[in-house]
A and B are shown apart, each in its own frame.
Chain A
Amino acid sequence: MTLAVDIKHALGNFQLDANFETGGRLIALFGRSGSGKTSIVNIIAGLIRPDQGRVAIDGAVLVDTAQGLFIPRHRRRIGYVFQEGRLFPHLTVRQNLLYGRWFAPKDGQREEFDRVIDLLGIADLLERRPGRLSGGEKQRVAIGRALLANPRLLLMDEPLASLDEARKTEILPYIERLRDQSRVPIVYVSHSVAEVARLASSMVLLSDGKVAAVGPTSELMHRLDLFPLTGRAEAGAIVEAVVERHDEVFGLSELRSRAGLWKLPRLDAPVGTRLRLRVRARDVMLARSVPKDLSALNILPGVVADIGKTDGPIVEIKLDCHGDALIARLTRYSVERLGIRTGEPVHALVKSVALDRRSLSGPIQAAASADAEASDG
């Protein structure tokens, strides 16, 4: 799936001027609140008519002001999962789920009702009314409702924002399954680095109504110059690793990535599982030589690839560890003291306990058939 957006739109004092073209299984629109993410998805869905511009999915034009073309929202076949769910209060969960099916074209591939129910784990809720659902259940039903309308694209506008941490962890696996098992591509709006790092294959970074960067998620997350926009506190690297061995005596799991061997607290994943490991910059230390008598179990040799430019007290350092990027967050003083310079070898040290379950997620699987090549982009 490719999504091409080129729009200019004024909302009060806010000026949206976004131009990007991207593809993939799950595209994240990432940016702070007020950066224009929601306006863009509303324009894609047809809820807002842009002042000027063009939006197309796989070459099919949804709106093009130059041609005076505007396809109304009910004929776009774009599923929308809203932040607040927006379930119909007068209908049961089952009726909510089947609402879009009425209007969906009767021919062609359709999402199976039972499969979607199963995917989202909502079989027990069917006869209830939305008023009796928890926030997490509502959001799952909303996802199912959008999916069963047989959309060609699913928009998700911060579907987890109104939920607490526990509910978020409850829903994230469902979104991952959706991304990997359904044939519908997703545009996912978020301001959470953790969510985007975990879910997105590619991302559009927005700032002040403008596109700051577009590209594969890990690439953008590793760009030191984008940290002011991606958020420094949560900044980190994404490493793809495979479970190699479990150590039952000490309750550890060993993962192999290009950077080397990682030791983590025991995981519930069989040997051979591919995982995405998020290593936050603030959990990484650097050493010029291999330190002895150290508690940290993960010592990964690498080369300094880039040093963030700053006059402040804190500097981000990007490492190249045999092809895996790692980011370390140090004081400028330490950088000076150790004489760290681009191109020099160093060792990255990461405490195993910093890599808990929350920093893991399944890999973005290559989708079957036609979407396979797009997912690389």
Chain B
Amino acid sequence: MDWTGLSPEEWTAVRLSLRVAIVATLVSLPFGVAMGLILARGRFWGLSLLNGLVLLPLILPPVVTGYVLLVLFGRRGPIGSFLADYFGIVFSFRWTGAALACGVMGFPLLVRAIRLSIEAVDPRLEEAAGTLGANRAWVLATVTLPLVVPGIIAGMILCFAKAMGEFGATITFVSNIPGETQTLPSAIYTFTQVPGGDAGAFRLTLVSIAISMLALLASELMARFVNRRLDIE
């Protein structure tokens, strides 16, 4: 026990949760930006189908998402076995699996924020950049993406918060192994299942609240900074 009153096991859960949420958010980010661009700007058949697919984890019961992940990414699943055999990446019952589950659950929130933000970018500014000699890739890098930064930050915060709180899909996919896949919510859940676990559950709950508040505060500060830079009229 240290000054926080957390036991080493509880600290492990906190650290693991942070790691899982940060990795889930950062790894999702490039995919989220790409998907946001495709959904905001793409014009092809099947766009709404793709949109539905991306949003699916938001609507499905988390247990279903977790089970689908288990079937696809498990040791004997088609994708899981391929990744394990060729790249040595194993998800099942590892913290990487928890990160995958959290990433999948947070992805719709990330994509949605980025997509709305891209749709709000004035295409006439991109036209102007084109007449100044920038090709499409440069327009994207120097005009579109900088203007989308507030949306990307908002999406990342949402994704991080979702990842911190994810429970159903994670526990279904990678179970609840202390030190490996036991994130904060799983740890709290475990405490509530044993007699005398109330104090532990309460401590972790306070930690959860503190992390969430800090994340919100950070997003608020960043949004203010970016808005000042953009000098929104």
Contact = CB atoms under 8 A, between A and B. Distances in A.
Interface of A: 45-47, 72-80, 82, 84, 86, 88-90, 99-100, 102-104, 129-132, 145-146, 149
A149 B147 contact: no
Contact of A88 (B129, B133, B138): B129
B134 A103 contact: yes
B131 A78 contact: yes
A45 B131 contact: yes
A103 B131 contact: no
Contacts of B231: 89, 129-132
A90 B229 contact: yes
26 contacts: A46-B130, A72-B135, A73-B130, A74-B131, A74-B135, A77-B133, A79-B131, A79-B132, A80-B128, A82-B128, A84-B124, A86-B124, A86-B127, A88-B128, A89-B125, A90-B143, A90-B229, A90-B230, A100-B133, A102-B133, A130-B231, A131-B233, A145-B132, A146-B132, A149-B132, A149-B133
Given A74-B133, A103-B138, A149-B133, A86 B128 contact: yes
8 residue pairs, one from A and one from B, having the closest CB atoms: A103-B133, A131-B231, A100-B132, A86-B128, A80-B131, A129-B231, A73-B130, A131-B233
Given A82-B124, A130-B231, A131-B232, A89 B132 contact: no
Contacts, number: 75
Interface residues of B, number: 22
Interface in B121-166: 122, 124-125, 127-135, 138, 142-143, 146-147
Q: Kindly name the residue among B133, B138, B143, B233 whose own CB sees the greatest number of chain A CB atoms within 10 A.
A: B133
A267 to B, nearest CB: 39
A145 to B, nearest CB: 7
B98 to A, nearest CB: 37
Contacts of A104: 133
B162 to A, nearest CB: 28
Name B's interface SS.
helix
A246 to B, nearest CB: 46
Nearest to B229: A90
Contacts of B143: 88, 90
Nearest to B143: A88
A86 B125 contact: yes
A367 B228 CA distance: 45
A102 B129 CA distance: 11
A103 B147 contact: no
A86 B131 CA distance: 12
Given A89-B231, A103-B138, A74 B124 contact: no
A303 B222 CA distance: 75
B147 to A, nearest CB: 6
A139 B132 CA distance: 16
